Structure 1
Amino acid sequence: MNPWLAVSVAGAELWLLAEKAVYWPAERVLLVADAHFGKAAVYRALGQPVPHGTTATNLAVLDTLLARHCCEELIFLGDFLHGRAAQGSASLDALLAWRHSQPHLRMTLIRGNHDQRAGDPPAALRMAVVDEPLLRGPLALRHEPASHPTHHVLAGHLHPVYLLRGAGRQRLRLPCFQLGRQVTLLPAFGAFTGGFAVTRKPGVQLVLASAQGVWALP
């Protein structure tokens, strides 16, 4: 099974990665949606027991992708921080330390609904923060999966997953990319996120992502 799948979207070659991200080789850009950094901290602030270490896991994956691919820019398609409690948390400290290890990487955040509540990341992260859509070549980069009149949309927000059914009661939920005629959805990049189950539809291609690789549903 391949670690990525090259697809053509509005004439742009994009690599759909098993790590639930997209690499755009012509632009040397890595795109991720819905990292939700600090989500565990937000839940712990509410007194709910949740896993530790999700930020470190996400950052380790980013390090792997940035080392594997020739990246000059990292673009977050919304929901970088999960909520206000993520500001000033250990997760933010980890992000700041990680940023120091990537001094030459350009970073851009397209504000999503959670970013509106959490507030913009601190200036020390050296991240450009913009409202949607961000037009880049033939693509409109957004958080919300709303169509654009002139550009094909890459978006997040919905955290698409697909339910694989096996023999008997066997079920497996896998993150997926959803490629439509006007809008392409990325799966949630964050390690501690839920998912919205999608189904096959005419004119929509589903590409599943797992630790073993990516593959398109026939």
Structure 2
Amino acid sequence: MKICAEAELNILEQTLLLLPEKAIYWQQENALIAADVHLGKSGHFRKAGIAIPQNIAQEDLAVLSDLIAQYKPAKLIFLGDLFHSELNTDWDWFALWREQFPQLHIILVKGNHDIINDSHYHQLNIETPMEYSIGPFLMLHHPLTDAKLVNAEGYVLCGHIHPGVRMHGKGRQTLTLPCFTFGDKQAILPSFGKFTGKVAIRHKNDDSVFGVLDNKVIRV
């Protein structure tokens, strides 16, 4: 596995490693956190007759396997949209992958694309809450509005947006990088899946933004 340079962020007396694989390793809880994997998206398009490579889901699962081998987490927390649509052939790959880590505690905080019946996840020993509170954090899929953040019981970690940050060169060149965005009461993670895309979002002046390069996370 390639050597990667993560960025360390200390928040609420917790240490978070922001990884180039677009996930977070939370040291105190020994947990990996990822958002918007969208397994099954390529299978969904293939089922509709659109030519998409078959190995995209396998590549995303391989990255997860590498992270598990490196950090040896006790928990893996998905912040929604783990599987993109209804059951398809990519689910079989996911079920086989799950068998490799029977002791790993997996929680899926359900997102808008998680339409597969919970019973399928429960058969794989995966929990499926709509939100998940642990330590100082409240794990969600959708970001909360500023009005709702006022009463949120914990610092929110979420996904859904597939955030990106636009970088400008000396000329007129621009490049949009996936990014982690940490605000005063909420953080939005980049989408983990390769077949997901990103959208440059408007950040607040006091946000802490970390762009993701191929093998490095940088503060921007």
> Could you state the TM-score of these two structures normalised by the residue count of structure 2?
0.90
Counterpart-to-counterpart distance in 1, 2:176 and 2:139: 26
Contact 1:19 1:210 in 2 (8 A): no
- 49-58 vs 18-27, which deviates more? 49-58
Distance 1:101 1:197, change over 3 A: same
Residues paired across the two proteins, number:
212
Kindly provide the CA deviation profile for residues 142-162 of structure 1, in whole angstroms up to 9, marking residues without a partner as x: 101113523110000000011
Q: Report matched runs for 1:1-218 at 5 Å.
A: 3-84=5-86, 87=87, 89-115=88-114, 117-120=115-118, 121-132=120-131, 134-146=132-144, 147=149, 148-217=151-220
Q: Which structure 2 residue ranges, 5 or more long, are not aligned?
A: none
**SS state of the match for residue 103, structure 1?**
coil
- Over the matched positions of the two proteins, sequence identity in percent amounts to 35
Query: Is contact 1:29–1:72 with CA below 8 Å preserved after alignment?
Result: yes
> AA paired with 1:7?
L
Using the TM superposition, give the Cα deviation of residue 46 of structure 1 relative to its aligned residue in structure 2, in angstroms. 1.9
Q: Distance in 1 between matches of 2:103 and 2:213?
A: 30
Contact 2:165 2:177 in 1 (8 A): yes
How many Å separate the matches in 1 of 2:38 and 2:152? 29
Quote the offset at 1:51 in angstroms. 3.0
Listed one character per residue, the Cα deviations across residues 121-168 of structure 1 (whole Å, up to 9, x for unaligned) are 443321011112x11011001101113523110000000011222244
Q: Is the 8 A contact 2:14 2:27 kept in 1?
A: no
Secondary structure at the counterpart of residue 27 of structure 1: coil
Query: Secondary structure at 1:113's aligned position in 2?
Result: coil
Q: Displacement of 1:12 after TM fit? A: 1.6
How big is the alpha-carbon RMSD for the aligned residues of Structure 1 and Structure 2?
Answer: 1.7
SS in 2 for 1:114: coil
Instruction: Tell me, in whole angstroms, the C-alpha distance in 2 between the residues paired with 1:16 and 1:123.
Output: 29
Q: Deviations over 1:160-201 (max 9, x none)?
A: 011222244533221100010011000000110021212442
The 1:25–1:141 alpha-carbon spacing in structure 2 relative to 1, beyond 3 Å, is same
What is the CA–CA distance in structure 1 between the aligned matches of 2:30 and 2:121, rounded to whole Å?
Answer: 25
Shift of 1:96: 1.1
Is residue 11–residue 138 contact of structure 1 (8 Å, CA) maintained in 2? no
**Take 1:60 and 1:149, find their aligned partners in 2: how far apart are those partners?**
35
Give the secondary-structure state (helix, strand or coil) at the position aligned to 1:118: coil
Q: Structure 1 residue 44: deviation in Å?
A: 1.6
